[in-house]
Structure 1
Amino acid sequence: MQIENILVVSPMWKEIQSLISENKLQKNFRYVSETQVVQDDLEWADAFVAFNIEKEFDYRQVKWVHSLGAGVDSFVYKKEWPEQVLLTRTICSFGQRIAEYCLSYILRDIQFHEQFQRNKLEKRWQPITPGLLSEQKVMIFGTGEIGQTMAKTFSFLGVDVYGVSLSGKTKEYFSEVNAIDSFEDRLKEMNYIINTLPLTENTTGLFDHEFFQAVHDVGFINVGRGASLDEAALLLALEKQQVRFAVLDVFSNEPLSSENKLWEHPHVWITPHISAVTTPSEGVDCFIDTLKNIEANKPLLNKVDIQKGY
């Protein structure tokens, strides 16, 4: 595949332009903000590089679409994708970033940070023995690149890691991997549940009332997609103490409305979709590597399976 005209759409397009220019690629580039891009731009382009596009476009005019993020649901979820158009996604430090993000909240929990801070404010001397990571069981939903990196990090620290995937195929660093329709029996054993799944027909609303009925006193962390979580079901599970606390980095509607009840809940931690940020340099590096592999007709490890949605 030969690529000549490349359209880059991003709120960080100036930084991306500067980084791409350093590589002296012999291509024609057009840089546009997300609010200014129009269909005519795509008709000019051979390749479309963007992240989280909210507008509807006809991608049949281009040869290749590259997502600057790990997720591609804004391109394919509940949409018809033209089969002749290649779709790739960014793979970089997401696994490491998400692993460290989740680990920070697990350590905060087993080290009793909140309790000791309350004791300090009350000038109360009350020894509590912290837990150990080697005593914890974690179930990670999603055993792809991100899930495997998390499992590697956690298992190295002694955590007993379980996985859930579409196929249930055994993966390294997981004690056990269950298929997405057969994990319920393990739920009550878990201390923490982490969602890293992409948004597909199979994962929409996965964490619902029925799911939370099967857990007990668990920590729930969502770094996958907001639409995989039924927020009302989570709030009820918190009330029933099925869920001890929740850490939410992604939401169905972003930014999260100030009216949303999650803001006020004392056992919910909210972050603004920052657990796996694509830095401009990482995004450009992955884009350039993918471009070179495409033109050299080499295998693409970041090619999206349209049927699976990731």
Structure 2
Amino acid sequence: MPVNVLFSAPPALWSEYEDPLGRALSEAGIDATLSTDLPAEDVDYIVYAPNDHMSDFTPFTRARAVLSLWAGVEGIVGNDTITMPLTRMVDPGLTQGMIDWVTGHALRHHLDIDYFLANQSGAWKPKVPPLATDRPVTVLGLGELGAACAQALAGLGFPVTGWSRSPKSIDGITCLHGDDGLAKALSSAQILVLLLPRTPQTEDLLDAEALNLLPRGAVILNPGRGPLIVDDALLSALDRGAVAHATLDVFRVEPLPADHPYWAHPQVTVTPHIASETRPASASRVIADNIRRAEAGEPLLHLVDRARGY
């Protein structure tokens, strides 16, 4: 008997996922009916990304799991009608995309490429950067993405400190945790990378007090979550030179409003939430593998801890 898989996401995603998800389910040996329209009482698994018409999961009485297409689950984790297991997306393509963005912009700032792009007038103005070994980097957040980016940066020669709320141990990374660890991690960060999830504990983490702990002239990269940063505090730090530059991929309101100060600030680079997109082919294989595991009685991967929010 086939399992019934409901694809519940914005309509534009169906055309991107229908073929790769169907193929991944078949390759995983799963006889599945995959559709955007199934009777709620017949649904076995829900592949989900937030959309306007789906917020009450109560009718899905036999659903065995909600499988999110997104790495961030702050928009769904508090939904009390989800009584079945909830998983988040941990995708090799998503991880590689984040590594590409973080290492690319870290090297851009480390090598001061913006300086050379702005000095193409024929004037010979050498500016030699330090070696990577003399440029401390801090990564806040040591989950799947944070750990991968920290290790990639360490592989380029940067001394990397990582901070997380709970203790972690990662080869080649100085791992800190707790409030005292956060202060220490910030105090050495010539380049600061934000890869924390959005939770009540992390929202507004980078406020004026935290920004004041950074070395003068630090650079901030935020491909994590917009609400980690207090925008007014960051703008103030940029205006007085305490922070040299901020490259931001995520924001409290998206798309970022056209009149937001970030767009016009000379020390801010805006990228439109492109640091780490879920790729349909690789994400479909992750979804199919979790359905295969559930059907075989194996534990689901990437389960969300409702208490922690991710």
Pair in the same fold by TM > 0.5:
yes
Q: Is it true that 1:242 corresponds to 2:242 in the alignment? A: yes
**Structure 1 pair 85/247, CA: closer, same or farther in 2 (3 Å)?**
same
Structure ranking higher on relative contact order (CA contacts 8 Å, 6+ apart):
2
1-side partners of 2:53 and 2:235: how far apart?
32
Work out which of the residue numbers 12, 23, 32 in structure 2 matches 1:27: 32
Give the deviation of 1:139 after TM superposition.
Answer: 1.0
In the other structure, the counterpart of 1:36 is none
Following the alignment from structure 1 to structure 2, what is the Cα–Cα distance between the partners of residues 181 and 85? 37
Deviations 1:95-151 (A, max 9, x none): 32212211111211222222222221x210122213322211111111111111112
Q: Where does the alignment leave 5 or more consecutive residues of structure 2 unmatched?
A: none
Q: Given the superposition, is the C-alpha separation of residues 86 and 3 from structure 1 closer, same or farther in structure 2, using an over 3 Å criterion?
A: farther
TM superposition shift of 1:15: 2.5
- 1:302 aligned counterpart, secondary structure: coil
In the alignment, residue 206 of structure 1 is paired with which amino acid? Answer: L
**What is the CA distance between 1:45 and its match in structure 2?**
2.5
* Letter paired with 2:106: I
Whole-angstrom distance in 2 between the partners of 1:196 and 1:54? 27
Change over 3 Å in CA distance of 1:42–1:269 after alignment to 2:
farther
Unmatched runs of 5 consecutive residues or more in structure 1: 33-39
Q: Which amino acid aligns with 2:154?
A: S
Residue aligning to 1:254:
254
> What does residue 13 of structure 1 align with?
14
- Verify the 8 A CA contact 1:152 1:173 in the aligned structure 2: yes
Q: Which residue of 2 aligns with 1:298?
A: 298
Q: Which residue does the alignment assign to 2:211?
A: 212
Which residue in the other structure is 1:37 paired with? none
Q: 2:100 and 2:179 mapped to 1: Cα distance?
A: 25
Aligned length: 299
Structure 2 partner of 1:46: 44
2:197 matched residue in structure 1: 198
Displacement of 1:28: 2.2
Q: Distance in 2 between matches of 1:56 and 1:83?
A: 12
**Residue 166 (structure 1) shift:** 1.2
The whole-number CA distance in structure 1 between the counterparts of 2:21 and 2:138 is: 39
Distance 1:211 1:43 in 2: 49
Residues 162-171 or 240-249, more deviating: 162-171
Q: Indicate the residue corresponding to 2:232 in structure 1.
A: 232
Shift of 1:6: 1.5
1:180–1:69 distance in 2 versus 1, CA, 3 Å: farther
Specify the alignment match of 2:67 in structure 1.
66
Aligned-residue RMSD, C-alpha = 2.1
Q: Which moved more, 1:177-186 or 1:163-172?
A: 177-186
Identity %: 29
Q: Say if 1:6 and 1:104 are closer, same or farther in 2 by CA, change over 3 A.
A: same
Mean Cα deviation higher: 150-159 or 126-135 = 126-135
> Secondary structure at 1:204's aligned position in 2?
coil
* Deviation for aligned residue 1:235: 0.5
Contact 1:164 1:180 in 2 (8 A): no
> 1:54 offset after TM fit, Å?
5.3
Q: Residue 144 of structure 1 aligns with which residue?
A: 143
> Partner residue of 1:176?
175
* TM-superposed deviation, 1:83: 6.7
Verify: 1:108 aligned to 2:108, yes or no: yes
CA positional deviation for 1:165: 0.8
Contact 2:2 2:33 in 1 (8 A): no
Structure-1 separation of matches of 2:227 and 2:50 = 15
Paired position in structure 2 for 1:162: 161
Spell out, residue by residue over 1:205-264, the C-alpha distance to the aligned partner (whole angstroms, 9 max, x if none).
111122112212111111111111111111011112221100111111111110111100
